[in-house]
Structure 1
Amino acid sequence: MGTDVEKRGLLVLLCNILILLSSVSDGGAVYKVGDSAGWTTIANVDYTHWALTKTFQLGDTIVFEYNPKFHNVMQVTHADYKACNATSPISTRTSGNDSITIDTHGHHFFLCGVPGHCQAGQKVDINVVLHRVPEEAAPTPSPVPTVVPAFSPSTAALSMPFHKFGWFLILVLQLMYICGFY
């Protein structure tokens, strides 16, 4: 079977691999703004409602599909978003098929800079949360603070999506059992 030192070395190696795999991203989800209607004023899309029905996270890609002859996409500050002010955007996109990968948490404000379009509702607030929570299991806010345990291989394993790394977790547990640690 091996010595206790060999067993512990194998266990440490497997835990390190598990931690490494838990940090691998699957590339995130892809969201087409406005779903089948896209980025437009014609379809009367409620972009506020559209965004509220999604749970955005880091690595997700937001796709704006539109006719570039009639629309554009401007990323703006919160103040400019609220005022529909397109005079000093953070960035402007005009391809008609713009993909934006979200790499920071918080609110990301976009609007169409064509006069009158933002006022007609062609603007969206993409709010990127810290952790994805399944909509059916979303917890109700609690006034009691929760204690977050210190990082350990076991907490890293528990936070991984099972469909992605569950097989690896099972392998580690089986090896721990075989080595006499379980």
Structure 2
Amino acid sequence: MAASRSALIALLVVVSCTAAASAVTFTVGDTQGWSLRGDYATWASGKDFKVGDTLLFNFATGAHDVLEVSKSDYDGCNTGNAMNNIQTGPATVNLTSAGDHYYICGISGHCGGGMKLAVNVGSGSGSPSPSTPSAPGTPTPTTPGTPTPPAPAGPAPSAAPARRAAGPALAVATGVLLKLAMF
């Protein structure tokens, strides 16, 4: 019994590691990071954002910030009702819920100058998410971008980790762990 329990625990560790490896960190923007030179509608287009993923906004503290706002505040570049305000760069935003999420720079004139990002976050089940919303008047490109691994600052490497649909495996592993705990 002890050997089979040990084997089961080892299997659950592997499944849990697979689930953790399925999240992706997306470094927002191009080599300039979160800046006035970015085209964030083009950057987000074609990316498959999922719950558990992370957005990394590279910027110098004081030069920019990241505000999470509603759709109407995103459209109007309104900074007064931010749900989250990150003043220190680089900023990490964890995508914890499915749906549309909107981010702007709150420095005067920056949002109006194009520093705004809209992403559609899927549930993480491995199914494709709907197309990402884009800024009004911005053409949608046909070439998708590539997620990048986490980087503390500067340009992100072009290699991208593979995404795995680990949600169901994690649920099974959790159920088995709970049953083991009852022994």
Of structures 1 and 2, the one scoring higher in RCO (CA 8 A, sep 6+) is 2
Aligned-partner Cα distance in 1 for 2:88–2:22: 23
* 1:37 equivalent in alignment to 2:7: no
**Which residue does the alignment assign to 2:174?**
none
TM-score of the pair, normalised by structure 1: 0.59
**What is the identity, as a one-letter code, of the residue corresponding to 1:90?**
M
**Which residue does the alignment assign to 1:115?**
108
- Superposed CA RMSD: 3.1
Q: Is the 8 A contact 2:22 2:165 kept in 1?
A: no
Report matched runs for 1:82-121 at 5 Å. 82-121=75-114
Gaps of 5+ in 1: 1-9, 136-159, 166-182
Aligned-partner Cα distance in 2 for 1:107–1:122: 17
- 1:126 Cα offset (Å): 1.7
**What is the identity, as a one-letter code, of the residue corresponding to 1:31?**
F
Where has structure 1 moved over 4 Å in runs of 4 or more?
none
Q: Is the 8 A contact 2:67 2:106 kept in 1?
A: yes
Name whichever structure is richer in helix by fraction: 1
Q: Is the 8 A contact 2:67 2:84 kept in 1?
A: yes
Change in Cα spacing, 1:37 to 1:53, as seen in structure 2 (3 Å) is: farther
Structure of larger gyration radius:
1
* 1:67 equivalent in alignment to 2:60: yes
SS at match of 1:79: helix
Aligned-partner Cα distance in 2 for 1:71–1:47: 15
Q: Is the 8 A contact 1:65 1:97 kept in 2?
A: yes
* Number of residue equivalences: 125
- 1:68 Cα offset (Å): 1.9
- 1:52 Cα offset (Å): 1.2
Q: Percent identity?
A: 31
Gaps of 5+ in 2: 130-163, 170-183
Q: Is the 8 A contact 2:68 2:102 kept in 1?
A: yes
SS at match of 2:75: helix
- 1:110 Cα offset (Å): 0.4
**Which residue does the alignment assign to 1:21?**
15
Q: Is the 8 A contact 2:69 2:83 kept in 1?
A: yes
